[in-house]
C-alpha cells in the first residue's frame, strides 16, 4: 500500500484475527443522511461485528448547537466513551454500515481528543459481511474505562477561522461534496442552504478516496486524487463537506499518505451555506 501511516487503517482479515484481543475494542459509528431512510441504531441491534459498541455521532456531540453533530466538550466525549469501555490503553477499530464515511468522522474525533491509537476498518461492514465473517445481535456490556481527553484545536477549524482564511489564503480548503453541489448547479440535500462553495476552495468528492470495492486506494492512488484536485502537499489543508462527516474521509486520506497539517471545518456547508453573511462562490 505504501502508506506513511498504515496503522490508521486495518483490514477485515486483521480484525478477524484480533477480534478477541484484550487490547482491541470495536466500534460501530454508522450514520446516514435522512433521505436514505436508514436507522443505524436499529441496524446495529439487528447485526454488528461481535463485541462492537455503538458510537452515536449525533449524541456524542454538542447537542446545544443548532448544527448537526458538532464537536462535544472534552468532558462529554470522555464521559460517553468511558461508558462504552473506550479509553486509554486500548486500540480502537471503527467501522460503519456504509463503508468508511461516518467511521472516518469518529476516527478524527478520537484523534482530536488525543487518542491516537485508533484505526478505521477498511471496507467497513459491507466488506465484512461480503466475506461471511461473524455477526452478533446481542448487546455487549462494556466495562467502563478511563479516557484522558485533551482537545487538539490544531485539528479543528471554526467558521471565524475559515472566514479569516478566505482573506488571508494561508490554508487550502478542500471540499468533499459532489462536483455539482460544489459548483452550485445541484441542490443541497438539506433545506434552507444556499448553493455554491467557500471562495478559493478546491473540490475533491470523497468517493475518489475509494476503489470500486469500497476500500481505500493505495498511496499512489490517493496522491493522484489530491494532485488532480490541485492540492499542494507542502501546505496546510482544511477539509469541509456538508456537515463535517465526509470531510473526515479526505482528512483520513491525507493522513494515510503523510500530510501533517490537516484540519476539519466542523460546521462545514450546513453552517456556511446556512448563513447569509458569509461569501460564496459558484
Would you name the residues annotated as active-site residues?
241
Distance of alpha carbon 264 from alpha carbon 105, whole angstroms: 10
Nearest to 197 by CA among 278, 122, 140, 133: 278
Q: Residues near 163 by Cβ (< 8 Å), separated by ≥ 6? A: 278
CB count within 10 Å of CB 195 equals 17
Contacts of 216 (CB under 8 A, 6+ apart): 9, 100, 122, 209, 210, 222, 252, 253, 256
> Which DSSP helix (H) or strand (E) runs through 235?
none
Distance CA 258, CA 5 (A): 6
Secondary structure class of 232 (helix, strand, coil): coil
Pairing label, strands 262-265, 156-157: parallel
* Strand-strand pairing, 202-203 and 91-95: unpaired
Alpha helices per DSSP H over the chain: 12-18, 40-46, 74-83, 102-112, 124-130, 159-168, 179-183, 219-229, 247-256, 268-272
Encode 45-69: b = buried (16+ Cβ within 10 Å), e = exposed: eeebbeebbbbbbeebbeeeeebbb
Amino acid at each position: 500500500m505504501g502508506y506513511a501511516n498504515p496503522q490508521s487503517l486495518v483490514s477485515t482479515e486483521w480484525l478477524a484475527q484480533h477480534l478477541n484481543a484484550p487490547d482491541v475494542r470495536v466500534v460501530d459509528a454508522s450514520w446516514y443522511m435522512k433521505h436514505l431512510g436508514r436507522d443505524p441504531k436499529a441496524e446495529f441491534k439487528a447485526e454488528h461485528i461481535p463485541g462492537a459498541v455503538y458510537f452515536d455521532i449525533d449524541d456524542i456531540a454538542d447537542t446545544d448547537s443548532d448544527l448537526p453533530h458538532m464537536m462535544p466538550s472534552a468532558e462529554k466525549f470522555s464521559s460517553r466513551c468511558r461508558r462504552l469501555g473506550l479509553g486509554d490503553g486500548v486500540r480502537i477499530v471503527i467501522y460503519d454500515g456504509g463503508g468508511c464515511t461516518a467511521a472516518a468522522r469518529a476516527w478524527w474525533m478520537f484523534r482530536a481528543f488525543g487518542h491516537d491509537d485508533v484505526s478505521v476498518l477498511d471496507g467497513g461492514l459491507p466488506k465484512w459481511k461480503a466475506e461471511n465473517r461473524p455477526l452478533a445481535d446481542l448487546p455487549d456490556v462494556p466495562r467502563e474505562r478511563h479516557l484522558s481527553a485533551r482537545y487538539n484545536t490544531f485539528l479543528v477549524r471554526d467558521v471565524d477561522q475559515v472566514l479569516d482564511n478566505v482573506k488571508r489564503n494561508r490554508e487550502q480548503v478542500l471540499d468533499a461534496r459532489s462536483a455539482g453541489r460544489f459548483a452550485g448547479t445541484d441542490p443541497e440535500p438539506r433545506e434552507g442552504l444556499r448553493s455554491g462553495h467557500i471562495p478559493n476552495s478546491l473540490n475533491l468528492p470523497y468517493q475518489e478516496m475509494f476503489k470500486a470495492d469500497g476500500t481505500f486506494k493505495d498511496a499512489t492512488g490517493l496522491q493522484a486524487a489530491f494532485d488532480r484536485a490541485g492540492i499542494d502537499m507542502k501546505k496546510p489543508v482544511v477539509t469541509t463537506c456538508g456537515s463535517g462527516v465526509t470531510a473526515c474521509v479526505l482528512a483520513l486520506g491525507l493522513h494515510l499518505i503523510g500530510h501533517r497539517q490537516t484540519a476539519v471545518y466542523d460546521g462545514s456547508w450546513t453552517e456556511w451555506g446556512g448563513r447569509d453573511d458569509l461569501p460564496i462562490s459558484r
